[in-house]
Amino acid sequence: MNIITKNMYRLLFFFFFPIVFLSCSKKYVNPTGKYESRVSPTAPDYTQMKYWAAHPDKKDMADRIPGNQFPDNQSTSEIDVFFLYPTVYVGERKQDNWNAPVDDPEFNAEVDKTTILNQASIFNGAGRVFSPRYRQAHLHAYYTSDKEAHKKAFALAYSDVKAAFEYYLEHHNNGRPIIIASHSQGTTHAGPLMREFFDGKPLQEKLVAAYVVGIEVPRDYFNSIQACETPIQTGCFCSWRTWEKGYLPPNHDPNNNYVVTNPLTWKTDTEYAPKELNKGSVLYKFDKIKPALSDAQVHQGVLWVTKPKFFGSAFIKMKNYHIADYNLYYVNVRDNAILRSKEYLKKMNR
């Protein structure tokens, strides 16, 4: 797995994309001391609505629509979406623990106004959106040389994700089909969750599709769940990780076995998809979409994107477009989730 660079959280999309976890004025505060010396934050209680960043029984940021251009179909859909948000816990406001606090109103507000608004909202056209708050691992857990801290920080985060999913299954699912969606650290946990509950298990029959984005997923990661190869295939998974065209990340292995889905064609081949196929990216105010902003092409296990042009883009010098994995293709992902949901229901009703 190629580790994302800390600098991507700085200036990269400050002028354009709303998912900016750190502006250039913020400072990192990494966890200090051994994991055992830290006091773990209070565990979430998923019987309480406050421990859900998104839930169909409450008003939240996943209900929003950019520019009010699309319908929110959560109240009428037969599909559920279980969304796991990316790393927001990066070390400001003395966030020096290995795991994020789920009772911190300021931190939760940051999660909601960035990832829930701009990523989870994509899926409200396809189904009811559930997104649990979880004690996610600090960003530094990806880089630390302390293997024990790394292991325990992610294990604690996954224990929350698993508990939330089990609660959802018992109290809310009622046999409904499911979309799994995630980004970055969310994908770090979505993979094991799918292995444990879906891969080769009875629940796999309920999997509409998975959008496990922002972390590389090997083609053979699952035993039974295959990569999506067409726009209407169901029971499969999509994955991509975006970089500027012509650039490859450090220590890149051209012979890697990662699944990379082109979100403009929904295929895993290397055919170039021009920006004219892009139905719309989300702009920073979440008040409009901009069609034909970015192209896409699969290349050696990454997704290449020609640098988008917009007001302020001249200031962006970085090649890592990780933060905008979803925003670049917001409308295409939204429409595809709806399409796969309809196809799944059609098959079930035959």
pTM of the model: 0.93
Long-range contacts of 310-317 (CB under 8 A, 24+ apart): 310/15, 310/16, 310/283, 311/15, 312/14, 312/15, 312/16, 313/15, 313/16, 315/11, 315/14, 315/15, 316/11, 316/12, 316/13, 316/15, 316/16, 317/11
Q: For residue 243, which phi and psi values (nearest 5 degrees)?
A: -140, 160
Q: Measuring CA to CA, which residue among 244, 306, 238 is closest to residue 276?
A: 306
pLDDT for residue 301: 97
Instruction: Give domain status of residue 209, yes or no.
Output: yes
pLDDT for residue 18: 39
pLDDT for residue 12: 37
**109 and 133 Cβ atoms separated by less than 8 Å:** no
pLDDT for residue 92: 59
Instruction: Give domain status of residue 1, yes or no.
Output: no
Instruction: Give domain status of residue 227, yes or no.
Output: yes
pLDDT for residue 77: 98
| Residues 270, 296: Cα–Cα separation, whole Å | 9
Query: How many CB atoms lie under 10 A from the CB of residue 192?
Result: 15
Instruction: Give domain status of residue 250, yes or no.
Output: yes
Q: Measuring CA to CA, which residue among 267, 241, 239 is closest to residue 252?
A: 241
Instruction: Give domain status of residue 58, yes or no.
Output: yes
| Residues 291, 120: Cα–Cα separation, whole Å | 20
In sequence order, the 6+-apart residues with CB closer than 8 A to the CB of 181 are 81, 82, 83, 84, 119, 120, 122, 123, 190, 210, 211, 212, 213, 337
Instruction: Give domain status of residue 147, yes or no.
Output: yes
**154 and 186 Cβ atoms separated by less than 8 Å:** no
Question: 47 - beta bridge partners?
Answer: none
CA angle 308, 311, 317 (to 5 degrees): 55
Number of domains in the chain: 1
Amino acid at residue number 280? G
Per-residue pLDDT of the chain (350 residues), as tens digits, is 333 333 333 333 333 443 333 333 345 678 877 887 777 899 999 999 999 999 999 999 999 999 889 999 999 999 999 999 999 998 655 556 899 999 999 999 999 999 999 999 999 999 999 999 999 999 999 999 999 999 999 999 999 999 999 999 999 999 999 999 999 999 999 999 999 999 999 999 999 999 999 999 999 999 999 999 999 999 999 999 999 999 999 999 999 999 999 999 999 999 999 999 999 999 878 998 999 999 999 999 999 999 987 666 666 768 999 999 999 999 999 999 999 999 999 999 87
Amino acid at residue number 237? F
Which residues form the domain of 61?
Answer: 6-348
Instruction: Give domain status of residue 101, yes or no.
Output: yes
Q: Please state whether 222 falls in left (phi above 0), alpha (psi between -120 and 50) or beta.
A: beta
Tokens standing for 152?
């325990």
